[in-house]
Amino acid sequence: GNSVTQMEGPVTLSEEAFLTINCTYTATGYPSLFWYVQYPGEGLQLLLKATKADDKGSNKGFEATYRKETTSFHLEKGSVQVSDSAVYFCALRSLQAGTALIFGKGTTLSVSS
Amino acid sequence: GAVVSQHPSWVICKSGTSVKIECRSLDFQATTMFWYRQFPKQSLMLMATSNEGSKATYEQGVEKDKFLINHASLTLSTLTVTSAHPEDSSFYICSARRQGQETQYFGPGTRLLVL
Protein backbone atom coordinates (compact mmCIF):
# COMPACT_ATOMS: atom_id res chain seq x y z
CA GLY A 1 0.00 0.00 0.00
CA ASN A 2 0.89 3.66 0.02
CA SER A 3 2.97 5.00 2.90
CA VAL A 4 5.28 7.81 3.91
CA THR A 5 8.29 7.53 6.20
CA GLN A 6 10.01 10.59 7.56
CA MET A 7 12.87 10.99 9.97
CA GLU A 8 12.16 10.91 13.65
CA GLY A 9 12.50 14.13 15.54
CA PRO A 10 12.90 16.32 17.29
CA VAL A 11 15.46 18.17 15.23
CA THR A 12 17.22 20.91 17.17
CA LEU A 13 19.27 23.50 15.29
CA SER A 14 20.85 26.86 15.85
CA GLU A 15 19.72 29.81 13.78
CA GLU A 16 21.29 29.92 10.28
CA ALA A 17 22.08 26.19 10.31
CA PHE A 18 21.33 23.97 7.33
CA LEU A 19 18.22 21.83 7.58
CA THR A 20 17.42 18.47 6.04
CA ILE A 21 14.37 16.43 6.94
CA ASN A 22 14.32 13.10 5.13
CA CYS A 23 11.17 11.68 3.59
CA THR A 24 10.73 8.50 1.58
CA TYR A 25 7.56 7.04 0.20
CA THR A 26 5.98 3.87 -1.11
CA ALA A 27 3.23 4.26 -3.64
CA THR A 28 1.63 2.72 -6.67
CA GLY A 29 1.71 4.79 -9.80
CA TYR A 30 2.97 8.35 -9.76
CA PRO A 31 1.92 10.20 -6.62
CA SER A 32 2.00 13.90 -5.92
CA LEU A 33 4.23 14.77 -2.97
CA PHE A 34 3.75 17.48 -0.37
CA TRP A 35 5.32 19.08 2.66
CA TYR A 36 2.96 20.58 5.21
CA VAL A 37 3.96 22.70 8.19
CA GLN A 38 2.09 23.10 11.47
CA TYR A 39 3.03 26.08 13.60
CA PRO A 40 2.15 25.97 17.29
CA GLY A 41 -1.59 26.36 17.80
CA GLU A 42 -2.38 26.49 14.09
CA GLY A 43 -3.67 24.13 11.42
CA LEU A 44 -1.51 22.41 8.83
CA GLN A 45 -0.45 24.64 5.96
CA LEU A 46 0.83 23.54 2.60
CA LEU A 47 4.51 24.46 2.39
CA LEU A 48 5.40 23.10 -1.05
CA LYS A 49 4.55 20.35 -3.46
CA ALA A 50 5.77 18.47 -6.53
CA THR A 51 3.60 16.53 -8.90
CA LYS A 52 6.06 14.62 -11.07
CA ALA A 53 9.56 13.19 -11.06
CA ASP A 54 12.42 15.71 -10.91
CA ASP A 55 10.07 18.56 -10.03
CA LYS A 56 11.38 20.86 -7.33
CA GLY A 57 8.93 22.48 -4.97
CA SER A 58 10.03 25.61 -3.16
CA ASN A 59 8.59 28.17 -0.77
CA LYS A 60 9.89 30.45 1.98
CA GLY A 61 13.46 29.26 1.38
CA PHE A 62 12.50 25.59 1.69
CA GLU A 63 13.05 23.19 -1.19
CA ALA A 64 12.31 19.56 -1.95
CA THR A 65 12.98 17.58 -5.12
CA TYR A 66 10.81 14.65 -6.26
CA ARG A 67 13.28 11.78 -6.75
CA LYS A 68 11.57 8.81 -8.29
CA GLU A 69 14.71 6.68 -8.43
CA THR A 70 15.16 6.90 -4.66
CA THR A 71 11.44 7.42 -3.86
CA SER A 72 12.38 10.43 -1.79
CA PHE A 73 11.25 14.01 -1.20
CA HIS A 74 13.69 15.42 1.34
CA LEU A 75 13.02 18.91 2.71
CA GLU A 76 15.95 21.33 2.84
CA LYS A 77 16.60 24.89 3.87
CA GLY A 78 19.96 26.59 3.72
CA SER A 79 19.59 28.84 6.75
CA VAL A 80 16.85 28.26 9.30
CA GLN A 81 15.30 30.92 11.49
CA VAL A 82 13.68 30.74 14.91
CA SER A 83 10.34 31.33 13.19
CA ASP A 84 10.76 28.04 11.30
CA SER A 85 10.20 26.12 14.54
CA ALA A 86 7.19 23.91 13.80
CA VAL A 87 6.15 20.36 12.96
CA TYR A 88 6.75 19.32 9.37
CA PHE A 89 4.72 16.60 7.66
CA CYS A 90 5.59 14.84 4.44
CA ALA A 91 2.57 13.54 2.53
CA LEU A 92 1.60 11.91 -0.72
CA ARG A 93 -1.52 11.77 -2.80
CA SER A 94 -1.95 8.90 -5.17
CA LEU A 95 -4.56 9.21 -7.88
CA GLN A 96 -5.22 5.52 -7.54
CA ALA A 97 -6.17 6.15 -3.93
CA GLY A 98 -8.48 9.01 -4.74
CA THR A 99 -7.94 12.43 -3.27
CA ALA A 100 -6.89 11.38 0.21
CA LEU A 101 -3.54 12.50 1.60
CA ILE A 102 -1.30 9.99 3.35
CA PHE A 103 0.96 11.58 5.94
CA GLY A 104 4.21 10.74 7.61
CA LYS A 105 4.42 10.97 11.40
CA GLY A 106 5.74 14.50 11.41
CA THR A 107 9.12 15.90 12.44
CA THR A 108 9.38 18.58 15.09
CA LEU A 109 11.94 21.28 14.34
CA SER A 110 13.19 23.55 17.09
CA VAL A 111 15.47 26.45 16.16
CA SER A 112 17.25 28.45 18.83
CA SER A 113 18.89 31.85 18.51
CA GLY B 1 -6.48 32.92 1.66
CA ALA B 2 -8.58 29.94 2.54
CA VAL B 3 -9.46 29.62 6.20
CA VAL B 4 -10.92 26.59 7.91
CA SER B 5 -12.12 26.75 11.48
CA GLN B 6 -13.05 24.04 13.94
CA HIS B 7 -15.22 24.26 17.00
CA PRO B 8 -14.65 23.50 19.76
CA SER B 9 -10.87 23.53 19.91
CA TRP B 10 -10.87 21.51 23.09
CA VAL B 11 -13.55 19.38 24.73
CA ILE B 12 -13.73 17.12 27.77
CA CYS B 13 -16.67 14.78 28.15
CA LYS B 14 -17.84 11.85 30.22
CA SER B 15 -17.75 8.33 28.87
CA GLY B 16 -21.00 7.43 27.13
CA THR B 17 -21.87 10.91 25.96
CA SER B 18 -21.79 12.17 22.37
CA VAL B 19 -19.66 15.03 21.15
CA LYS B 20 -20.14 17.09 17.99
CA ILE B 21 -17.21 18.80 16.27
CA GLU B 22 -17.82 21.42 13.59
CA CYS B 23 -15.60 22.22 10.65
CA ARG B 24 -16.28 25.37 8.65
CA SER B 25 -14.72 26.84 5.54
CA LEU B 26 -14.91 30.57 6.28
CA ASP B 27 -14.17 32.17 2.93
CA PHE B 28 -14.72 29.52 0.29
CA GLN B 29 -17.10 26.77 -0.67
CA ALA B 30 -15.80 23.33 0.15
CA THR B 31 -17.26 20.59 -1.99
CA THR B 32 -15.16 18.01 -0.17
CA MET B 33 -14.15 17.83 3.46
CA PHE B 34 -11.89 15.31 5.14
CA TRP B 35 -11.71 14.18 8.74
CA TYR B 36 -8.42 12.99 10.22
CA ARG B 37 -7.41 11.64 13.59
CA GLN B 38 -3.97 12.15 15.07
CA PHE B 39 -2.52 10.22 17.98
CA PRO B 40 0.44 11.64 19.93
CA LYS B 41 3.61 11.45 17.87
CA GLN B 42 1.76 9.67 15.08
CA SER B 43 0.76 10.72 11.62
CA LEU B 44 -2.66 12.00 10.67
CA MET B 45 -4.91 9.11 9.73
CA LEU B 46 -7.77 9.73 7.36
CA MET B 47 -11.07 8.70 8.88
CA ALA B 48 -13.53 9.69 6.18
CA THR B 49 -14.16 11.83 3.14
CA SER B 50 -17.40 13.74 2.81
CA ASN B 51 -18.86 15.41 -0.24
CA GLU B 52 -21.57 18.01 0.18
CA GLY B 53 -25.01 16.50 -0.02
CA SER B 54 -23.93 12.87 -0.07
CA LYS B 55 -22.95 10.20 2.41
CA ALA B 56 -19.42 10.15 3.74
CA THR B 57 -16.94 7.52 2.59
CA TYR B 58 -15.24 5.92 5.57
CA GLU B 59 -11.78 4.41 5.61
CA GLN B 60 -11.36 0.77 6.47
CA GLY B 61 -11.55 0.17 10.18
CA VAL B 62 -13.49 3.35 10.98
CA GLU B 63 -16.93 2.67 12.42
CA LYS B 64 -19.50 4.78 10.60
CA ASP B 65 -22.04 4.38 13.40
CA LYS B 66 -19.49 5.55 15.91
CA PHE B 67 -18.24 8.56 13.95
CA LEU B 68 -21.20 10.24 12.29
CA ILE B 69 -20.30 12.70 9.58
CA ASN B 70 -22.66 15.21 8.05
CA HIS B 71 -21.79 17.62 5.25
CA ALA B 72 -25.03 19.48 4.89
CA SER B 73 -23.73 22.65 3.26
CA LEU B 74 -20.77 23.85 1.23
CA THR B 75 -19.25 25.50 4.29
CA LEU B 76 -20.00 23.12 7.14
CA SER B 77 -19.23 19.52 8.03
CA THR B 78 -19.77 17.95 11.42
CA LEU B 79 -18.25 14.93 13.09
CA THR B 80 -20.21 13.41 15.97
CA VAL B 81 -18.43 10.93 18.20
CA THR B 82 -21.28 8.85 19.60
CA SER B 83 -21.14 7.14 22.99
CA ALA B 84 -17.58 8.29 23.45
CA HIS B 85 -15.11 6.15 25.37
CA PRO B 86 -11.63 6.95 26.69
CA GLU B 87 -10.03 5.27 23.66
CA ASP B 88 -11.72 7.89 21.47
CA SER B 89 -9.59 10.57 23.11
CA SER B 90 -7.52 12.07 20.34
CA PHE B 91 -6.84 15.10 18.18
CA TYR B 92 -9.38 15.41 15.36
CA ILE B 93 -8.49 17.54 12.34
CA CYS B 94 -10.62 18.48 9.36
CA SER B 95 -9.61 19.79 5.98
CA ALA B 96 -11.56 21.27 3.11
CA ARG B 97 -11.04 21.34 -0.62
CA ARG B 98 -12.55 23.50 -3.34
CA GLN B 99 -14.16 21.79 -6.30
CA GLY B 100 -11.62 20.98 -8.99
CA GLN B 101 -8.64 21.91 -6.84
CA GLU B 102 -6.11 19.61 -5.25
CA THR B 103 -5.03 21.69 -2.25
CA GLN B 104 -6.57 20.86 1.10
CA TYR B 105 -6.88 23.59 3.73
CA PHE B 106 -6.68 22.36 7.29
CA GLY B 107 -8.47 23.40 10.42
CA PRO B 108 -6.55 23.90 13.69
CA GLY B 109 -7.86 20.68 15.18
CA THR B 110 -10.04 19.68 18.11
CA ARG B 111 -8.62 17.90 21.11
CA LEU B 112 -11.09 15.45 22.66
CA LEU B 113 -10.59 13.96 26.10
CA VAL B 114 -13.07 11.35 27.26
CA LEU B 115 -13.04 10.62 30.97
pLDDT band at B9 (very low <50, low <70, confident <90, very high): very high
> H or E element: which one contains B25?
strand B19-25
User: Any chain B CB within 8 A of the CB of A74?
Assistant: no
pLDDT of residue A52: 92
Q: Which residues of chain A have pLDDT under 50?
A: none
Chain B residue closest to A4 (CA)? B43
What 3 state SS string does B41-101 have? CCCEEEEEEEECCCCCEECCCCCCCCEEEEEEECCEEEEEECCCCHHHCEEEEEEEECCCC
Max Cα distance, chain A (Å): 44
Task: Identify the residue among A36, A48, A101 best suited for mutation to test binding to B, counting B beta carbons within 10 A and taking the highest.
Answer: A101
Across the interface, do B43 and A46 touch by the CB < 8 Å criterion? no
pLDDT of residue A96: 63
Q: Tell me the average pLDDT of chain B.
A: 91
Across the interface, do B43 and A106 touch by the CB < 8 Å criterion? yes
pLDDT in tens, B13-67: 999 999 999 999 999 999 899 999 988 777 889 999 998 888 899 999 999 999 9
pLDDT at B77 over 70: yes
d(CA A83, CA B102): 27
Q: What letters, b where the CB count within 10 A reaches 16 and e where it falls short, cover A63-79? A: bbbbbeeebbbbbebee
Chain B residue closest to A101 (CA)? B46
